[in-house]
């Protein structure tokens, strides 16, 4: 008898970015890496936040046993009380921002395990009332010589002990990660805790203090990331879902409306 496979929703900003083919190719590579790694153990829902919008999130997310929010463009600063015009500002997709913020709040309302990657971690922080530093100069976190994609820089992070993140990487106080970001967590959101920092003090991972919700600023799905990094994240989601309580669509819709 074949065991029932759980369902993993993977949220991307857009299905394609025809105006930016190099960046589109990068995002699609990372997207396919997650799908390939997960498909043997999970049924996959491909979710495009700009298309679904916040109104489409409850029905889409209700089908999911776990969620990944991928990396992508900067979150619009209006979502965290700041203004446009900052250094290296790119294009924003405000409808996608609102959809993924709703997705994070859905996960909290329904105890659905969620991992946010890069932009996805920043979405988590903003969803819980946090703010972002709009531009960091440090070359430790991105490669300024690669203007199109700023990909990728390897650097160490220190993991806070007695955290969910520490349970994903048992026995590791430090971890080499593959990183590419020019923004970072500034003020931490409510009920969130820092679970990893870079050597310069920048927050590299956050997690909810009570729920199976976690964000990493690095890219475990980068093809050059340490072996087993992405698989460890997927295993965290698999184990977390075993302890989740059933979600209700009514609860999700009330949370989105709020």
Three-state DSSP string of the chain: CCCCCCEEEEEECCCCCCCCHHHHHHHHHHHHHHHHHHCCCCEEEEEEHHHHCHHHHHHHHHCCCEEEECCCCCCCHHHHCCCCCCCCCCCCCHHHHHHHHHHHHHHHHHCCCEEEECHHHHHHHHHCCCCEECCCCCCCCCCCCCCCCCCCEEEEEEECCCCHHHHHCCCCCEEEEEECCCCEECCCCCCEEEEEEECCCCEEEEEECCCCEEEECCCCCCCCCCCCHHHHHHHHHHHHHCCCCCCCHHHHHHHHHC
In a domain, 203, yes or no: yes
In a domain, 42, yes or no: yes
Q: Among all residues, which ones are annotated catalytic?
A: 118, 219, 221
Which range marks the domain in which residue 196 is found?
7-257
- The tens digit of pLDDT for each residue in 153-164 reads 888 999 999 999
In a domain, 53, yes or no: yes
Average confidence (pLDDT) over 37-60: 95
In a domain, 2, yes or no: no
Q: Kindly report the pTM of this predicted structure.
A: 0.90
In a domain, 118, yes or no: yes
pLDDT of 250 = 54
In a domain, 17, yes or no: yes
Domain of 17, CATH number, reads 3.40.50.880
pLDDT of 133 = 93
In a domain, 40, yes or no: yes
Domain count, the chain: 1
In a domain, 1, yes or no: no
């Amino acid at each position: 008898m074949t065991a029932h496979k759980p369902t993993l929703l993977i949220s991307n900003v857009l299905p394609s970015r025809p105006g930016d083919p190099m960046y589109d190719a990068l995002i699609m590579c990372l997207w396919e890496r997650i799908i390939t790694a997960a498909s043997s153990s999970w049924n996959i829902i491909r979710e495009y936040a700009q298309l679904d919008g916040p109104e489409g999130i409850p029905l889409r997310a209700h089908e999911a046993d776990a969620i990944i929010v991928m990396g992508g463009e900067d979150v619009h600063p209006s979502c965290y009380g700041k203004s446009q015009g900052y250094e290296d500002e790119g294009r924003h997709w405000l409808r996608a921002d609102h959809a993924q913020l709703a997705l994070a709040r859905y996960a909290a309302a329904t105890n659905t395990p969620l991992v946010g990657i890069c932009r996805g971690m920043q979405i988590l922080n903003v969803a819980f009332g946090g703010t972002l530093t709009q531009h960091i100069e440090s070359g430790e976190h991105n490669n300024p010589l690669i203007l199109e994609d700023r990909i990728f820089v390897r650097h160490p992070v220190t993991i806070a002990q007695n955290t969910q993140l520490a349970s994903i990487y048992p026995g590791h106080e430090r971890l080499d990660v593959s990183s590419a970001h020019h923004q970072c967590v500034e003020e931490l959101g409510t009920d969130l805790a820092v679970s990893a920092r870079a050597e310069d003090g920048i927050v590299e991972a956050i997690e909810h203090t009570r729920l199976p919700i976690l964000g990493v600023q690095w890219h475990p799905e980068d093809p050059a990331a340490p072996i087993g990094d992405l698989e460890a994240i997927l295993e965290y989601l698999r184990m977390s879902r075993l302890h989740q309580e059933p979600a209700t669509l009514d609860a999700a819709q009330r949370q989105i409306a709020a």
